[in-house]
Amino acid sequence: MAAEASFKVGTPLRVTLAELERRRTEDAASRPGIYYPPPLSPAEFPVVTKGPTLSVTFIPADQLDAAEAAPSRSALPVLPVAVVASPCPDDRPVVSPEPTQQPQQPHAFSPAPQCSAPALPLDPCPVCPRLAAEFEPFRQAAYYKSMHQRALERERALQEQNQQLQARIRYLQQQLYGKKTESAKAKDSLAAGSVAPAETTGNTGDTPLRKRGQQRNKPGPRRRDYSHLPGEDEFLDLADADKQCPCCGLPFAPFPGTEDSTVLEIDVRAHRRIIRRRRYKPTCTCPDNPGIITAPAPAKLIPKSRFGISIWVEVLLDKYLFHRPTYRLLADLATHRLGLSQGTLTDGLKRLVSLFEPVYQELAKHSQKQKLWHADETRWLVFVTCEGKVGYRWYLWVFHAEEVVVFVLAMGRSHEVPETYFGPMQSGIMVVDRYKAYQAIDKVKAGLIVLAFCWAHQRRDFLDVARSWPQLEDWALGWVTRIRELYQVNDKRVAVIDQPSEFTPADRQVREQVSKMEKQAEAELADAELHPAKKAVLESMGNHWTGLTVFVEHPEVPMDNNTAERSERGPVVGRKNYYGSGSVWSGQLAAMLFSLFQTLALWNINPRVWLTAYLQACAHAGGQAPADVGAFLPWNLPEEKRKEWSLAKEEEGEDSS
């Protein structure tokens, strides 16, 4: 007797022979059926050595679900096992899990063997519903245990996401509503954006910070000296009735000398220069003389313009040094009863561009000869439509060297801007932030320019962690303290850079501090359970460690890029006041004058005096740039001229502000 059946591995199949025969006669179609008897181990199977053998279809347990859903069962794997009929009391055959050898293939000329086994039942097994009911609680327990585990993982992921979002909210609130500058406050204000008191004032002890203003038991500040200003004598006298004694009426006798005092005044007034040129008539009869000889006209900066040089000096200083919009200047001049047209001023500014282009080119050439730069960039709006440019956002790049400052206006923020500015053969050290465009410069990749990264930006990362993650505040402030100590030891080293005997121990102290910080970062990164916020900051510091430690081998290199950021303060104020530039030429003029005024500030030259002298030279050149522009550059000025044009310096004393 042979038949086919399907069942789980390790389970017996028990069916009475009478039942098999009855079902075979009722349904002649022979198809494998699927049964779900309880699972048993192989040792629990009864092994029977006698009885007819059946051919049984085997379905692995992990394929039962797919087998139930399959429309056809012909693709199910088949495993021959021994199925024998035993003389059990209930006349049920027992299925043994022992595999049997494949039967020999019949000879080609021998008749095919006929199977006399009855067909397996097509109806559900009468035992399966009972087993399903008994094992349903176990299946449900496993199901809900799996679902609970998935819910825990989902809750853990949501909690991490919620913490990250809360940290982001705190960071954005600080950016929007928090203090923009650091102040010496208590530790509880550190999370809101301040720094440790010792970090700002150098006070490392428990002594209280001094109050502002005049200090007790300290000499007062010296009065400022204004003797360099021109003076106008003003004599005051008694009235005639007061020059005699009120009792007897005798007159008072004059006393030698006067009682003097000084009052500071500012007299700003608009006036007209009425130029009256003398005319002469020749008294001879020479044919070469004209009929009337007139004195030459005064030099004008812009031909046929009624505006003198003083007006253009005031306009340029007010807009590009003090960063006021043009309409405010016009309102100010209107209070002096001088009404000017904004369109006239705009047209005049456009004509002045050609006068400052040679100066700007000389500044750029001198900057490219330097060996140390501070570089940064900020947005600058130019309200024009250019082909290939989307939007109005341009960028104002600054390259600050020891002797010159140059601003470059560019459409984009890519590495092509500094590449074009420096030219093909420049080399040196450039202090920058961690913006990737600097690392993509061709001269940086070639090793000609070394990037020194900014410790102020790195320190800012730890402060952001302290503000965004209150539970990590102590850890972040610990790193802020280490950076502060590094600043302090490096300042001591720079102060004695010209004293070899004192420089060596100071240099050793800097190197020890840097090595200690590096080992601390490596030890924390080795922690497998390190907080993601900690890991991100420490990995960023490790990735930029080479650039952060350039100052160790080059003491002349500052630790931060604050110099470049301070250079951008003025243009940023101008951007907020008048939004940018309305044309390309206007933006270029702004970059030129930003560069000029900040370069003059490096040399302590009065920009008003310099600008007046330069524009007068342009006027005498017929409204063109003078032939020898280099003579006006600060590094080419004679020492006497530089002192004459310098800003008056106050005597250094204790700051009482």
Q: What is the DSSP string of 259-312?
A: --------------------EE---S--TTS-S-EEPPPPP-SSTT----HHHH
What is the three-class DSSP state of 382? strand
Nearest to 277 by CA among 255, 257, 295, 265: 295
Nearest to 364 by CA among 286, 301, 311, 417: 417
CA pair distance 381, 394, nearest whole angstrom = 6
Q: Which helix (H) or strand (E) holds 483?
A: helix 473-495
Q: Which helix (H) or strand (E) holds 418?
A: helix 416-422
Tokens 């320190």 locate to 459
Using CA atoms, how far residue 267 sits from 51, 230, 236, 309, 319, in Å, is: 130, 12, 20, 18, 21
Under 8 Å between Cβ of 401 and 392: no
Nearest to 117 by CA among 147, 91, 85, 153: 85
CA pair distance 424, 488, nearest whole angstrom = 38
Q: Which helix (H) or strand (E) holds 611?
A: helix 607-620
Query: For the CA atoms of the chain, what is the radius of gyration?
Result: 47
Using CA atoms, how far residue 48 sits from 83, 103, 169, 196, 265, in Å, is: 9, 19, 74, 87, 125
Tokens 């063997």 locate to 113
CA pair distance 538, 521, nearest whole angstrom = 6
Under 8 Å between Cβ of 251 and 244: yes
CA pair distance 410, 28, nearest whole angstrom = 89
**Quick one: CA torsion of 146, 147, 148, 149, rounded to 10 degrees?**
50
Q: Which two tokens stand for residue 592?
A: 């030129």
- Up-side HSE of residue 38: CA atoms within 13 Å toward CB? 11
Full-prediction pTM beyond 0.85? no
Q: What pLDDT, on the 0 to 100 scale, is given for residue 535?
A: 94
Q: What pLDDT, on the 0 to 100 scale, is given for residue 128?
A: 65
Q: What pLDDT, on the 0 to 100 scale, is given for residue 489?
A: 96
Low-confidence ranges of the chain (pLDDT < 70): 1-131, 180-209, 648-657
Per DSSP, which regions of 325-418 are E strands?
Answer: 372-381, 393-400, 405-410
Residues 6+ apart with CB under 8 A from 186: 197
CA pair distance 98, 543, nearest whole angstrom = 63
Strand-pair category, 428-432 with 449-453: parallel
Q: What pLDDT, on the 0 to 100 scale, is given for residue 127?
A: 59
CA pair distance 469, 477, nearest whole angstrom = 12
Other Cβ atoms closer than 10 A to 564? 24
Under 8 Å between Cβ of 366 and 566: no
Q: What pLDDT, on the 0 to 100 scale, is given for residue 136?
A: 79
Under 8 Å between Cβ of 365 and 406: no
What is the three-class DSSP state of 591? helix
Under 8 Å between Cβ of 118 and 21: yes
CA pair distance 179, 142, nearest whole angstrom = 55
